[in-house]
Structure 1
Amino acid sequence: MTTPETTPTGPLVARVAVDIALPHLDRPFDYLVPDADRASIAVGCRVRVKFAGKRADGFVLGLAGSSEAGDKLRPLERVVSPEVVLTAPVARLCRAVADHYGGTFADVVRMAVPARHAATEAAEPPPHPEPRPAAPPSILSRHPGGPVFLDALAAGRPLRAAWTPAPVHGPPGDWASGLVEAAAATLAGGRGVLLVVPDADALAALAERCAAVFGAGSFVTLAADLGPAARYRAFLAVARGRVRLVLGTRNAGYAPVRDLGLIAVWDEGNDSLAEERAPYPHAREVAALRAALERSALLVAGYARTAETQALVERGWLAPLNPPPAELRRLGPAVRIAADTDLALERDPLAHAARLPHDAFAVIRRGLAIGPVLLQVPRAGYVASAACADCRAPARCPRCRRTLRGERGADALQLVCGLCGPVPGPWRCADCGGTRLRAPRVGVRRTAEEIGRAFPQVRVVESWWGHQIAEVPDVPALVLCTPAAEPRASGGYAAAVLLDTHLLLNRPELRAAEEALRRWLTVCALVRPGADGGTVLAVGESDARALQALVRLDPVGFAARELAERRATGFPPAARLVYVEGPPAAVEHYAVAAATVPDAERYGPLPLTDETVRLTVRCPPARAAALLDALTRESARRSAHKEGGGVRVVVDPQVVD
C-alpha cells in the first residue's frame, strides 16, 4: 500500500471497504482510480463505486500500484469527498470490534463514522483554542497508585487502570474532576484524550467541568442527540486534528483522535454503554481493544465494578486505583439496612414485612431537619400492577388478558391495559368474582402520594424517565425518583432511602445483583458524607449479598466474589457466551457449525416465539476465536445462498436470562 505522497505514476488501485453488511462480502475490493480522481483520492476518504450492478458508498482503506485481480478492475464511480474520515487506526479498530463480536466491518463503521454533511464540510470551521494548563491534581492523587498513574500519563506511558472513587457527594466522589485530572496529565504530555460516558446527563456534567478547567471551545462533544450538522462538525474537528480532547457517549470511542494517549470510560457497568445495533459492542470492550491496538493508556471507572473489569484486574491487565474499604466507609455516607438490630425489631416487629418500616420514617425525619431526602422507587407510574383483594389473582384485561396497571382516577383507581388502554366500567375478578382491588406493586407516583400524607408540610418532588428533574435546591424536601432519574442536590442529600430493593435483586438475570449495587452506589454518591450527617437506608433482606456489600461500601470485594462464582458456574467473563436467535431450521445450521469447535457447549434451541428459537453456545475464552470463526462462516454461507429468515447473533449478551 502507498500513501498519497508516494502515489505511483502508473495505474492507481484503491482498496475499498464497500458499505454492504453481508457476511460473505466482508472484505475490501479493488477498484481502478480514474485519472480525474487521482489528485483528490486519499486513504480514509469516501468514494462511490458500482457493486453488483448498483451504486454503493465505501471508504478507501489503501492505495497501490497493482491488484491481484489484474486488468479486470472496475473504475471508481467518483470520490464523494477528499475529507479523510476513516483513519487507519480507526479502521483497524473497526475490524477488531467486528471480529470480537462476530459482526461485519460495515456494521461497525456505521457506528464509527457519522453520515456526511456536505454544507458542514464546506463551511468555515469554528476556532478551537488549545486547552489551558490545569491546576495540580487533588482527586486521583489521593488514591493508592494515583500519582504513579498520573506521572505515566504525562510521560506518555500506556498504563491501564480501574478506578473506583468513593460513592459520596463532594471531592472524594467527584468522578468528573478525576477524569479531568487524567486528561490534563495526558494533554500536558502532548497527546490526545478521549473520555466516554454513558448518557447525556453525565456528558453535560463532564463538559461543564472541562470548560471550567480547559476553557470553552478547547474540546468537542460527540453524541447522537447533537443533530447531523453539529455532530459532523465536531467529528471533522477531531479528524482534522484541530482538537485533542473529545468527550462523548458510547460511539465516541471510535473518534479519530490523533496520537491518542488516554481513553477513559466512566460508569463502565451502565447498560447505556452497550450498543443496541449489531454486532452489539460494549464501549468498555471497544476502549480496551483500542488501548491495546494504539498502545494508549486506559482508565475504566465507576462507583461499582463489573466482573469483567475485575477479571482484567486479577489478570494484571488493569491496575487497581481504589481506596481500601475502611477508607471508603470513612469518606462515604453511613449506610445500613432497615430493622437490622434486635432493638429495631422490638420497636417495629413487622419491619421485615412493611414496605416503609419505622426506621425509614426515622431516617426521613432526621434528614429533613438538615436538607432534602431522596427516596428511590424501582417502578414508575402509580400502581405497577393490580390484583384482586380477595383471592390475590392478578387483575387482567377482559379483552387481551394482560395484567392491568393502575392510574390515579378522580374517585378511585383507574385500571389501564398496556395494549387496550383504560378498562371501561367496574372491574370484576374472573377467578372469584370479587370487585375489590389491591396494589401489590406500587410505583413512584403512588409512593409520593403516601409519603406526602405522612409529611404534609414538606414539598414533594417526583422524577422519573420522561418527567426528569435535573436538580433540587439545598432545602428540606422529599424527592422520589426511579433509578437513573435521581436529581442532583446542590449541597448533597441529607439522607436517602432505597425502597423495594428485592425488585432489583430478584430479576431473572445474571447481572441483577451487580446492576442493583451499581444503582444503589449511584444514590450514595448523591448523599453527604457520614461525618456531615449523610445517611442511606436500604429496605430489604439483610442477608442479600449485594446489600451487605452496600453497607460495607465494598464494590471491589463484591466484584471479586461475583467473578469467583461465575468462574465456578462457567458464566461470562469466565466463558464466552453466544446467543443465536432465528427460525428453527436456520438456527440448527449454527448448532452444527458450533459442534465442530472443541469444548463448545450447546444449550437448546429453546422457543422464544412461535417462529423463533434461541441457541446458546458457551466455550472457554481460548476457544472463542474458533467458535466465532465457525459461526461467521455459517453466516457467510447463508448470505451467499440468500437463505431467508433473519438470524441474530449476540456475543457476550448484556442480559443473560
Structure 2
Amino acid sequence: MTTTDALIAAPASAPDPVPSRRIARVALDVHLPHLDRFFDYSVPEAMADEAVVGARVRARFAGRAVDGFIVELPCDSEVDKLTPLSKVVSAEPVLDAHQVRLIRAVADHYAGTFADVMRLAVPPRHAATESAEQHPWPRPDLSSIPAGALDQAPGGDRFLTGLRQGRHLRAHWQVPPRFVTDGSGAVDWRRGFVQACAAALEGGHSALVLVPDVRDVRRVRDALTGSLGEGCVAELHSELGPAARYRNYLAASRGVARVLVGTRGAAYAPLHDLGLICLWDDGDDLHAEPRAPYPHARDVAALRASIQPCALLLASHARSSEVERWVESGWLAALACPPGLVRHGCALVRVAADSDEALRRDPLASAVRVPRRAFETIRAGLASGPVLVQVPRSGYLEALSCGDCRAPVRCRTCNGPVRADRMPDGGRRLSCRWCGRVMTSWQCPRCGSSRLRAPMVGSRRTAEELGRAFPGVLLVDSSGQTPRESVGDTPALVVATPGAEPVASAGYAAAVLLDAALLLDRADLRAGEEALRRWLAAVALVRPASEGGSVCLVGPAWDASVQALVRLDPAGFAARELAQRAEAGFPPAVALCAVEGAEGVVTGFARLADWPEQAEVLGRVELPPDEPGADRLWRLLVRAPRAAGGALAGAAKKALAVRSARKEPGAVRVRIDPVELS
C-alpha cells in the first residue's frame, strides 16, 4: 500500500479542524465622512444566538460605546485581531439586506454617509413595544376593489395586469385634475392607488405608498381600508407616537403588514417581498428631506425600484422636470390622456384678462388684485355651492412698500422687512419680521411719504376684503397654521393657502386663483413648475364644467405656466421646461452640486475636491442673510453632464472625507441636485 493510499484509508488520524471565529460586520452610528464604512467585530459565545443580521448592538469605537446594527455575518475578516461586541441591545432584526443596499446607494448618490441615511430609515427603538405580543394583522380582502381610475388611463390596464404577474414595471400616471368621488370618498388618484396595491397583492407581493404629508396619509389609509378591510394597512409618519410608529415598523419587518402608507421616511420601510412603490405628487417639496444628506423620496423610490427590484408608480396632476426626463429617456412609461380629453372632464379654466375683449369690458383687469371676472366667478359660484379662493401666503399684510415711490418698507434698526398685523381693535401694527421691533410711525427715506401699499396680501386680509364685498356669506380661512379638513356643500367663501385647501363634499362650484404673478416672479428655478402644480391641485377640487364648475386665474395670460393651466397640459409644459433647462445648463438636465459655508470653508473645499473633467465650477457668490446677525454664507455651484453625476457626488464625498480626517474647522453643507435653487 502506498503512502497516499494509507492517508486516504486513515482519515481519523487527521487533526481536528480549528473552529472558525464568529464575526459581525457592523454599521456604527458614526457620521464622520472619513469613517463611512462598516467595521468588523468578534462575537462572544454568549451573544452568538442573538447576534443576527439586523440586530441592534453596542460596540467600542475610539474609546467609547457606540450604537449600531449588524449588517452582515461574514466568514472571515481582513483584520486578524478583532474587538468583541460590547452588547446586543436587541435581537430583533430591524434592518434587512435590501435596506442596507438601499441606504448605501442613497448615501453615495447624495454624497452622504451611511449613518446619516440610517437614522432616516430606522425609527428609534421602543423596548416595551418590541417585547409585547404582536398585534393581530388581518389579511387584505381583495373582493371589493373599486374601478374607474387607473384602469381608465391609457396603458393603465396593462400596468395593472403586469403587477398581477409580478413584473417590475415603471410608469408615471398623469392624473386628470377633475373632482370625482365614489361612495368611500376616494378621489381618482387614491382610487387608482387602491387598484395598484390590490394588483400587487394579487401577485403575492406587498405594496408601499408614499405621500407628502400626514393629511394625505390618513386619506389614503381610509381609501385603502375601505376596500381592503379594517386594520390591514400600516402607516408610518412622524406624527405617530414612538410606540405606534415602532409597532407599525415591526409589523413591516416581521412580514405581517403587506400594505404600508407613509411620508418620505417610509421609503426605506422593510416590507417583505415588495412588489410595488406608489408615490403621489413628487413635485411637493415635503418629499425632500431637510436633514443631511437631503435625499428626495422620488429618487429614493427610484433607487429602491432598481435595487430590490420592484414596480414603481409615480402619480401627480402636474409633471416635474425630473419625471419628464425619465419619461423622455424611456425609463418611465407615461400613462396620460390627451389634453383635449382631460379638458372635457374638468372645470373650465380662464384668465381674468385673457383677451382684448376682456380688457375692453374691464380696463383695470390686468392691474387690480381682484378684477371684474374674478368677482363674477365668485358671485356665480356662490349661487350653487362653496367657492375656493387660493392665496399664495397666509397672514395679513405680509410685505409693505411706499405708496408713492414703491420702495420697500424696512426696519430702522436691522433693515429687515416690515409687515402689518391686524389688531383686535381693528387697527394695524407695523412690526419687523426679523427683530420683531414695533414701529409706531414710518416715513419713506427716499421720498418722504408716509403712505403705505401692500404688494403681498395674506389670506386673512383677503378674507376680510371679500367678506365686505359679499356680506352675509359664510367665510372660511384655511392656512398652514389653521387648516380645515373639509367644508360642506352649502354656499361659502373659502380662502386658503396652497396645500391647505379643505375638500368640499360635493366639490367647489368655482375657484379663483389670486396673485399668480407673485408665484411666478419668485427668484427660484422651479417658480413656474411649482405655480402650475399648486393651481392644478386647486382645479382638481372644482366640479367639472358639465356641472357648472369654473376657475378664474388672476395673472399674466402670456406666461407659459398660465397657458399650460388653461390648456390643462402639464406634460407639454414639463417638456418645454426640461428643454430650456438643458439649454441653460440647469438640473435635472445636468448634475449639480451646491456647496455652502463660510467664505474660507468653501474656498478650502474647492481646493480639496477633484471634480470630474467635464465639470464646470460656478462662483463663489455671497448669499443674503436669512436673519439679522447671521454669519455670511457663500455658495459654490459645480455642474456636470448627467452621465458624470456619480463622479460629481463621489468627488464631493471624497472632499468631505478629507476635511473630516484633517479636522478642518467650519461647517460645510453639500447638496446634490438641490430641490430649491434661488
**TM-score (norm. length: structure 2):** 0.94
Runs (4+) off by over 4 Å: 593-596
- The separation in 2 between residues aligned to 1:539 and 1:613, in whole angstroms, is 37
- Output one character per residue of 1:62-88: Cα deviation in whole Å (capped at 9) or x when no partner: 112321111x11000011100001100
Match of 2:515 in 1: 500
Matched, 1:110 2:116: no
Matched, 1:64 2:51: no
Match of 1:636 in 2: 657
- Percent same amino acid at aligned positions? 53
Match of 1:236 in 2: 250
Match of 1:333 in 2: 347
Match 2:138 to one of 111, 115, 129: 129
Cα distance change of structure 1 residues 27 and 129 upon mapping to structure 2, 3 Å threshold: same
Match of 1:47 in 2: 57
For 2:73, what is the secondary structure of its paired residue? strand
Matched, 1:468 2:483: yes
CA drift at 1:422? 5.7
Match 1:302 to one of 311, 316, 319: 316
CA drift at 1:596? 4.4
Whether the 8 Å CA contact 1:591–1:602 is kept in 2: the answer is no
Whether the 8 Å CA contact 1:414–1:422 is kept in 2: the answer is no
- The aligned runs of 1:390-429 (5 Å cut-off) are 390-409=404-423, 410-421=425-436, 423-429=438-444
- The aligned runs of 1:495-644 (5 Å cut-off) are 495-594=510-609, 596-608=611-623, 611-644=632-665
- The separation in 2 between residues aligned to 1:401 and 1:629, in whole angstroms, is 41
- The separation in 2 between residues aligned to 1:328 and 1:593, in whole angstroms, is 52
Whether the 8 Å CA contact 2:145–2:228 is kept in 1: the answer is no
- The aligned runs of 1:75-114 (5 Å cut-off) are 75-114=84-123
- The separation in 1 between residues aligned to 2:648 and 2:468, in whole angstroms, is 59
- The separation in 2 between residues aligned to 1:229 and 1:565, in whole angstroms, is 48
- Output one character per residue of 1:471-493: Cα deviation in whole Å (capped at 9) or x when no partner: 11101111011111111101000
Cα distance change of structure 1 residues 469 and 411 upon mapping to structure 2, 3 Å threshold: closer
CA drift at 1:595? 5.2
- Output one character per residue of 1:201-251: Cα deviation in whole Å (capped at 9) or x when no partner: 111110111111111110100001102111001000100111110100001
- Output one character per residue of 1:558-615: Cα deviation in whole Å (capped at 9) or x when no partner: 1111111111111111100001112333322332344542110001111236553211
Match of 1:5 in 2: none
Whether the 8 Å CA contact 2:431–2:439 is kept in 1: the answer is no
Q: Residue type matched to 2:508 in 1?
A: Y
Matched, 1:38 2:48: yes
Match 1:430 to one of 431, 440, 445: 445
CA drift at 1:399? 2.5
Q: Note the residue ranges of structure 1 that are not aligned, 5 or more in a row.
A: 1-7
Matched, 1:321 2:335: yes
CA drift at 1:159? 0.6
- The separation in 1 between residues aligned to 2:532 and 2:306, in whole angstroms, is 30
CA drift at 1:405? 0.6
Match of 1:11 in 2: 21
Whether the 8 Å CA contact 2:151–2:192 is kept in 1: the answer is no
Deviates more, 1:348-357 or 1:281-290: 348-357
- The separation in 2 between residues aligned to 1:596 and 1:490, in whole angstroms, is 55
- The separation in 1 between residues aligned to 2:474 and 2:345, in whole angstroms, is 29
Whether the 8 Å CA contact 1:594–1:627 is kept in 2: the answer is no
Whether the 8 Å CA contact 2:206–2:274 is kept in 1: the answer is yes
Whether the 8 Å CA contact 1:397–1:423 is kept in 2: the answer is no
Q: Residue type matched to 2:206 in 1?
A: G
Matched, 1:158 2:168: yes
Cα distance change of structure 1 residues 155 and 9 upon mapping to structure 2, 3 Å threshold: farther
Cα distance change of structure 1 residues 411 and 611 upon mapping to structure 2, 3 Å threshold: closer
Whether the 8 Å CA contact 2:417–2:434 is kept in 1: the answer is no
Match of 2:179 in 1: 169
Deviates more, 1:409-418 or 1:333-342: 409-418
Deviates more, 1:580-589 or 1:174-183: 580-589
Q: Residue type matched to 1:454 in 2?
A: A
Match of 1:227 in 2: 241
Q: CA RMSD in A?
A: 1.5
- The separation in 1 between residues aligned to 2:155 and 2:632, in whole angstroms, is 54
- Output one character per residue of 1:496-553: Cα deviation in whole Å (capped at 9) or x when no partner: 0000101111111111100000000000010001110110110111100000000000
- The separation in 2 between residues aligned to 1:445 and 1:492, in whole angstroms, is 23
Match 1:447 to one of 444, 462, 480: 462
- The separation in 1 between residues aligned to 2:66 and 2:72, in whole angstroms, is 18
Whether the 8 Å CA contact 2:608–2:658 is kept in 1: the answer is no
Whether the 8 Å CA contact 1:253–1:283 is kept in 2: the answer is yes
For 1:548, what is the secondary structure of its paired residue? helix
- The separation in 2 between residues aligned to 1:374 and 1:543, in whole angstroms, is 24
- Output one character per residue of 1:14-52: Cα deviation in whole Å (capped at 9) or x when no partner: 111111011111111110000000011101111100000
CA drift at 1:627? 2.0
**Count of residue pairs the alignment pairs up:** 649
- The separation in 2 between residues aligned to 1:250 and 1:483, in whole angstroms, is 20
Whether the 8 Å CA contact 1:352–1:540 is kept in 2: the answer is yes
Q: Residue type matched to 1:84 in 2?
A: P
- The separation in 1 between residues aligned to 2:59 and 2:118, in whole angstroms, is 17
- The separation in 1 between residues aligned to 2:420 and 2:604, in whole angstroms, is 46
For 1:617, what is the secondary structure of its paired residue? strand
CA drift at 1:109? 0.6
- The separation in 2 between residues aligned to 1:402 and 1:593, in whole angstroms, is 37
Cα distance change of structure 1 residues 596 and 579 upon mapping to structure 2, 3 Å threshold: closer
- The separation in 2 between residues aligned to 1:458 and 1:335, in whole angstroms, is 24
Whether the 8 Å CA contact 2:145–2:194 is kept in 1: the answer is no
CA drift at 1:439? 2.2
Deviates more, 1:261-270 or 1:640-649: 640-649
For 1:649, what is the secondary structure of its paired residue? strand
Whether the 8 Å CA contact 1:594–1:600 is kept in 2: the answer is no
CA drift at 1:424? 4.8
Match 1:207 to one of 195, 217, 221: 221
Match of 1:351 in 2: 365
CA drift at 1:296? 0.4
**TM-score (norm. length: structure 1):** 0.96
Deviates more, 1:253-262 or 1:635-644: 635-644
Whether the 8 Å CA contact 1:589–1:634 is kept in 2: the answer is no
Match of 2:674 in 1: 653
For 1:207, what is the secondary structure of its paired residue? helix
Q: Residue type matched to 1:338 in 2?
A: A
CA drift at 1:171? 4.7
Q: Note the residue ranges of structure 2 that are not aligned, 5 or more in a row.
A: 1-17, 626-630
Deviates more, 1:286-295 or 1:592-601: 592-601
- The aligned runs of 1:361-372 (5 Å cut-off) are 361-372=375-386
For 1:224, what is the secondary structure of its paired residue? coil
- Output one character per residue of 1:268-316: Cα deviation in whole Å (capped at 9) or x when no partner: 1100000000000000000000000112000011100001001111111
- Output one character per residue of 1:104-138: Cα deviation in whole Å (capped at 9) or x when no partner: 00100100001111111011121110001142532
- The separation in 1 between residues aligned to 2:333 and 2:611, in whole angstroms, is 37
- The separation in 2 between residues aligned to 1:100 and 1:463, in whole angstroms, is 38
- The separation in 2 between residues aligned to 1:323 and 1:488, in whole angstroms, is 25
Whether the 8 Å CA contact 2:279–2:314 is kept in 1: the answer is yes
Deviates more, 1:77-86 or 1:634-643: 634-643
Q: Residue type matched to 2:203 in 1?
A: G
- The separation in 2 between residues aligned to 1:100 and 1:142, in whole angstroms, is 36
Cα distance change of structure 1 residues 60 and 595 upon mapping to structure 2, 3 Å threshold: closer
Cα distance change of structure 1 residues 121 and 288 upon mapping to structure 2, 3 Å threshold: same
Cα distance change of structure 1 residues 295 and 65 upon mapping to structure 2, 3 Å threshold: closer
